[in-house]
Amino acid sequence: MSQAQETAAPQPAAPRPDAGKTGATSRGQEVLREIMGGGVVISVLAVLLAFIVGAVLIAVTDPDVQKVSAYFFARPSDTFQAIWHAVGGAYQSLFQGAIYDTARPDFASGIQPLMNTLSVSTPLIFGGLGIALGFRIGLFNIGGQGQILIGGAVAGWLAWSFPMPFPLGLIVAILGGIAGGAVWAGLVGWLKAQTGAHEVIVTIMLNYIAFYLISFLLRTPGALQAKGSNNPKSPAIPTGAQLPALLGTRYAVTWAFVLAVAAVVVYWWLMNRSSLGFRFRAVGENPNAARTAGIGVDRMYIYGMAIAGGFVGLAGVNQVLATNTGGFSSGFDAGIGFNAITVALLGRSRPLGVLIAGLLFGALQSGGYLMQAANGIPVDIVLIVQSLIVLFIAAPPLVRAIFGLPKPGVAPRRARRALAKEAKA
C-alpha cells in the first residue's frame, strides 16, 4: 500500500519504442508502427472493445434474442437479426441521446442532446482535473465525493446567506466552493505530510464524514436547511448566484462549461508551465529524488491536495449553482467523485485528455438515459462500458494481443509470434 502512490499514475506498461532496435526498418514503417502501437490507437481500440462487450451483454439479456436463439440451429439468421436489432437499436438510442436526435424536426432541437452532454460533462471535467492533478503528484484521491459535497455546500451557503447582485454573488460562491474543496482535500495532504497517513484510506473516510456532516446540516434548522421546511433540503439558490445558461434556457448547458474549459487551460498552465507544477511532477515521478533535489515533498503533498480539492470543489459548485438550483439534498454529488477517477485515468492525467474523457463519459451518461427509456436497457451498461474502457486502456498489451497489433519497438513478425506465445501462456 505504502508504495502504491508512487506508481499511481497510469503508465503504459510496455517499454517505450526503442530507436536502436528499429534502426534497420525504414522511417515510414517506424512512424506507422508508432501510431499503431501508440496511445491514441490503444485508446480508440479500448473504447471499441468496451462497446463490443457492452453489445454482448445487451444481446444476451435481450428477450427477443433469447426467444429466437432457442431455434438457432434451425434458422441462425433470425438470431443474428435479433441481435442486430437489439444492439443496433440500443447504440442508436445512445447516439441520439448523446449527440444529435435525428427524430427532432429542426437542427436547433436536434442538437439539444449534445448540449445536454456538455452539461453532464462539466462536473466530470472539473472532478477529473482534480483527480488527475493528484495522480501527477503520485497521490490517489478517492475523496472526490467529500470534496464535491463540502465545496458545493459552502458555495450554496454563501449564495443564499449573502444575497448579492448577479456577477458578485456568483463569484463569491464559486470562490467559496473552491476554498471548501481545497480545505477538505488539503486536510488529507496535511495528514499525509504530518503523519504519513495513506491518502487512499483518509480520503475514503472523509467521503463518509462529509456525507454525514452534510446530511446533519441539511436537517438542522439554521444550518443548511431551507427555512420553514421539514425536508432535509437546502433553500433555492438566488438568481444572483446561479450559473446562467450559455445558449439560452432551451439548452441545458451553462456557463459552467466555459468555466470547465478555462479550468483545463489553468491545469495545463499549472502543470506544464509553472514552477509549482514542475515540482509537483518531480514529486510524482520520484519523491526521493525530488527530496534530494531540495523540493519540500511534504509541502507539495499539502499544496497538491489543496489545489486538487479546489478543482473538485468546482464540480460541487456546478452541482449546486447550475444543476440543482432549486435546492440540494445530501446526494447531490451524484457519484461524480468516483466517475471523475475513471475520467482522469482515461485522460491519462493530461489536460486535453481529461477534457475529451469527460466529454466521452458525459455523452455515455446522457445517452444512457435515452437508451434506458427507449430500449429498456438498464443505464448501468454505461458504468460497465466506462470501467471496461479504463481497464483496457490501462493494459495496452492486452488490447494489442486481442487485435494482433505489433508491440512498439519490435519487428512486426517477431512481435506477432511473441504475442501469440504470450496469449497462450
Partner 1 sequence: MTAATPAAPRPSTGPIALAVVRARSWKVPIALSVFALGAVVLFIGFAAKGRTDFRFSQSSDFFRIPDLTVAAGPVAVVLAIVAVVMAAASWAIVVRGRRVHPWFTAVFAAVFMAGFLTWAAAGEQLPFTALLLGAVTLSVPLVFGALGGVIGERAGVVNVAIEGQLLGGAFCSALVASATGSMTLGLVAAAVAGVLVSFILAAFAIKYLVDQVIVGVVINVLVTGLTNFGYTSILSADPEHLNRRMTLPNLPIPLLSDIPIIGPVLFDHTIIVYIAYVAVAAVWFGLFHTRWGLRVRAVGEHPQAADTVGIDVNRTRFWNVSLAGAIAGLGGAFFTLGSVGIFTEQMTAGQGYIALAAVIFGRWDPIRATLAALLFGFATNLQNILGIIGSPVPSEFLLMLPYVVTIFAVAGLVGKSRAPAADGKPYVK
Residues in contact with partner 1 by CB under 8 A are 1-4, 7-10, 13, 57, 61, 63, 140, 142, 191, 194-198, 200-202, 204-206, 208-209, 212-213, 215-216, 220, 338, 341-342, 345, 377-378, 380-384, 386-388, 390-391, 394-395, 397-398
Least separation in angstroms between CB 152 and partner 1:
18
Nearer to partner 1 by C-beta: 254 or 372? 372
Least separation in angstroms between CB 389 and partner 1:
9
Least separation in angstroms between CB 215 and partner 1:
5
Nearer to partner 1 by C-beta: 229 or 387? 387
Nearer to partner 1 by C-beta: 29 or 229? 229
Q: Which three cell numbers stand for residue 31?
A: 512512424
Least separation in angstroms between CB 344 and partner 1:
10
φ and ψ of 245, to 5 deg: -65, 145
Helix ranges, 22-111 (H): 27-37, 39-61, 63-68, 76-98, 107-110
Nearer to partner 1 by C-beta: 114 or 315? 315
Q: Which of 94, 95, 87 is nearest to 65 (CA)?
A: 87
Least separation in angstroms between CB 388 and partner 1:
7
Site of grid cell 445558461: 245
Least separation in angstroms between CB 253 and partner 1:
26
Interacting residues of 299 by C-beta distance below 8 A, sequence separation 6+:
193
Q: Which three cell numbers stand for residue 73?
A: 440451429
Distance between CA 95 and CA 117 in Å, rounded? Answer: 11
Distance between CA 99 and CA 115 in Å, rounded? Answer: 8
Least separation in angstroms between CB 249 and partner 1:
33
Distance between CA 341 and CA 327 in Å, rounded? Answer: 26
Nearer to partner 1 by C-beta: 122 or 339? 339
Nearer to partner 1 by C-beta: 262 or 289? 289
Nearer to partner 1 by C-beta: 118 or 336? 336
Q: Which three cell numbers stand for residue 241?
A: 448566484
Q: Which three cell numbers stand for residue 62?
A: 435481450
φ and ψ of 254, to 5 deg: -120, 180
Q: Quickly list DSSP for 334-369.
A: TTHHHHHHHHHHHTTT-HHHHHHHHHHHHHHHHHHH
Task: Report yes or no: 107 and 299 within 8 Å, Cβ to Cβ.
Answer: no
